[in-house]
Amino acid sequence: MRLLVVEDDPTISEPLCTGLAREGFTVDHVATGAAALEAEPADLVLLDLGLPDLDGRVVCRELRERSNVPIIVVTARSEEIDRVTLLELGADDYVVKPFGFRELVARVGAVLRRTSVTAQPVQDGPIDIGQLRIDPRTHQVTLATGPVSLTPKEYDLLIYLAADVGAVRTREEIIQDVWDENWWGSTKTLDVHIASLRKKIGAEMIQTIRSVGFSLVDPDSAT
């Protein structure tokens, strides 16, 4: 696996790259956001937010727009709003400085595992739910108003709920099946992705079952 480490502090990047190489990874290192955007494709990106040229959030968003590469953000900002914003931008996980090397390696492994196995499509052809169409073959999602742009994890969550329209999926089931049973992050991650999906496909399509979980529904069938 090839990792791209985006970190401008050599006191962090040098031992980090050395340690990751010892774990069997091929490691590329860049010190700026511009270099990160020009780097060769990687299997996972470790992205520090405090870069000298570009805001790390901008780099995260541009990387996500270009590809589905898993992104783990390294940040010294531990406030919840930063975490939520990063997840909305498409980051797959985050670690807060100072962090332990073993914890970071475990997170890298967990993200690689859960991003290598996407939710299974429920059928070969397009899935139509009211005005929503999901094409598992191309990963394209459209509404009557046009295409819908989803992050990889938003798509995984949507196709998971679409596997059984109307069925209630518990929060625990979703975290385990769409993320990973060893997910390190807060369950607020799920709420962030549900809120983002609702904005993109329509709030009426995802019902909250209080104290249980969520259900994808066809709003047209209820009228």
pLDDT in tens, 168-193: 999 888 887 787 655 555 567 888 89
The count of other CB atoms within 10 Å of the CB of residue 9 is 13
* Statement: residue 83 has pLDDT above 70: no
* Statement: residue 221 has pLDDT above 80: no
In 106-205, at which residue ranges do the beta strands (DSSP E only) sit? 127-129, 132-135, 140-143, 146-148, 169-170
Mean pLDDT, the chain, rounded, equals 85
Task: Give residue 80's pLDDT band: very low, low, confident or very high (50, 70, 90).
Answer: low
Q: Which residue has the tokens 């805001």?
A: 55
Instruction: Over range 137-163, report the average pLDDT.
Output: 89
Q: To 5 degrees, how large is the angle CA 215–CA 210–CA 196?
A: 55
What whole-number distance in Å separates Cα of residue 212 and Cα of residue 102?
34
CB 158 within 8 A of CB 135: no
Q: Is 0.75 topped by the overall pTM?
A: no
* Statement: residue 60 has pLDDT above 70: yes
The residue type at 169 = R
- Domains of the chain listed by start with CATH number: 2-116 (3.40.50.2300), 127-222 (1.10.10.10)
